Amino acid sequence: MLRVVRASTATAPNRQLTELRARKGEGNASWLRRTSASSGIVLFGGTSVADLRLRFAQSVFRDDLTPSHWSLAGLLVDEATFLSVPLDLEGDVSAVPPSNGIRTCAVADHDDPDRYPNVAVLHFAAEGDAVQSAVEQVRRQRSLLDIPALIVAWLGYVWAVDDRDPLASGHGIPSAAFVEAVHSVANIELTPGVASASSCPEAIWQSAKWWDGYYRESARLAAAPGVPRSPGHAVPQVPSGRYVIRRPVAQSAPDG
């Protein structure tokens, strides 16, 4: 099998990605408020069986082959809500195609640190609304990214209907594929080490942690004199962010 991930040549992790420890008994909503983040990418690592299967599937993206810390990616709209593509079934399934699977999620629903022990907030774009504006394009153009097809592929894996890892056949994890597609429309490469079809939260995490040199170069090219900025394009920056990993290796929920 061809290696789907290319290693960064960086010898040290990105210093602009730092840990913000959780306070005793602190929920994720409170932790996010302390980061002051109201935009950017949010990652969650959950402990349900579905989350664990997603985290396990991404282990091929890690040198040590341990499960990923992350199972869900989203775009923060404000301190309380984010856009994402969770696999949880909710409401009328007829609503999935018209919205291309994209849903507005509440941070409060992801507050429980036992249910979601790992959280990160990451910024790849400088201030501006280009990334948010790109959401509508991904929502309206299924031809740009067919998220329902990814949902079907991953539900099949999560439910063990088909035990082949969808990442190996180029089906990205829906929430991460959505986040990556939005950044791609805004001209920001979110996973420079991975073919876009294999998007996953772990790849986004690896980009923030190890590919700062690439983004430094991207920012330099974008700021070069005489380079016009296309409408709808965001300004790339060296990734920055905060994270807390309460459970570094996937474990079952306490009552499991």
Partner 1 sequence: MTPLPTTVHFLGAHGASPDGIVAWIAAAGTPAADLQLTVGGRPHPLGDSWTTFGAGGFAVRAQRITIEGLPPGRDHPLRLIANGELVASAEASTLPAALPSPPDRPFTILLGSCFSVLQDAACLVGAAVERLPAVARPHVTILCGDQVYLDSPALHFLACTHSRDELAQEHLQRYLTTWSQRSDLGGFQRVLTAADTFFCSDDHDLWNNAPNAAPYVRDTWTAEGCRAWREVAIALFELFQAPRQGEIFAVGALSCFVADTRLARTADRVSFMTAEQMTELGQWIRGLDGPGLLVVGQPVFVGETGWRGQFFDRGLADYRQYAELVRVVSSTPHDLVILTGDVHFGRFATCELPSGRRVHEVISSPLALVHRIAAGKWGKAVEAFPAVAVPTVAQAPVSTASYQRIDEHFLTLGFTGVGASVHMDVTAWPVRVGSGPWGEPVASTVLH
β-strand partners of 84: 74, 103
Check residue 11 for interaction with partner 1 (CB under 8 A). no
Report in angstroms how near the CB of residue 103 gets to partner 1 at its nearest.
21
Report in angstroms how near the CB of residue 217 gets to partner 1 at its nearest.
5
Choose which of 193, 245, 246, 253 interacts with partner 1 (CB under 8 A): 193
Check residue 47 for interaction with partner 1 (CB under 8 A). no
Given the complex with partner 1, which of 171 and 242 has the nearer CB atom?
171
Report in angstroms how near the CB of residue 25 gets to partner 1 at its nearest.
40
Choose which of 189, 245, 246, 247 interacts with partner 1 (CB under 8 A): 189
Report the alpha-carbon distance of residue 174 to residue 223 in Å, rounded.
32
β-strand partners of 74: 42, 84
Pick the piece of the chain touching partner 1 (CB under 8 A) from 3-11, 107-115, 159-167, 239-247: 3-11
Q: Is beta strand 236-245 parallel, antiparallel or unpaired with respect to 118-125? A: antiparallel
Given the complex with partner 1, which of 117 and 239 has the nearer CB atom?
239
Q: How many CB atoms lie within 10 A of CB 77?
A: 16
Report the alpha-carbon distance of residue 24 to residue 131 in Å, rounded.
34
Are 67 and 55 in contact by the 8 Å Cβ rule? The answer is yes
Closest CA to 239 of 13, 47, 25: 13
Check residue 185 for interaction with partner 1 (CB under 8 A). yes
Given the complex with partner 1, which of 14 and 187 has the nearer CB atom?
187
Choose which of 24, 226, 230, 254 interacts with partner 1 (CB under 8 A): 230
State the number of binding residues for partner 1 (CB under 8 A).
33
Given the complex with partner 1, which of 87 and 203 has the nearer CB atom?
203
Q: Is beta strand 236-245 parallel, antiparallel or unpaired with respect to 81-84? A: unpaired
Given the complex with partner 1, which of 50 and 204 has the nearer CB atom?
204
Are 183 and 215 in contact by the 8 Å Cβ rule? The answer is no
Check residue 3 for interaction with partner 1 (CB under 8 A). yes
Are 112 and 124 in contact by the 8 Å Cβ rule? The answer is no
Q: How many CB atoms lie within 10 A of CB 103?
A: 18
Q: What angle do CA 49, 171, 98 make, to 5 degrees?
A: 90
Interface positions, 103-162, toward partner 1 (CB under 8 A): 137, 141, 143-144
Q: Is beta strand 236-245 parallel, antiparallel or unpaired with respect to 17-19? A: parallel
Give contact residues for partner 1 (rule: CB under 8 A): 1-3, 6-7, 9, 137, 141, 143-144, 170, 181, 184-185, 187-189, 191-197, 214-215, 217-218, 221-222, 230, 233, 236
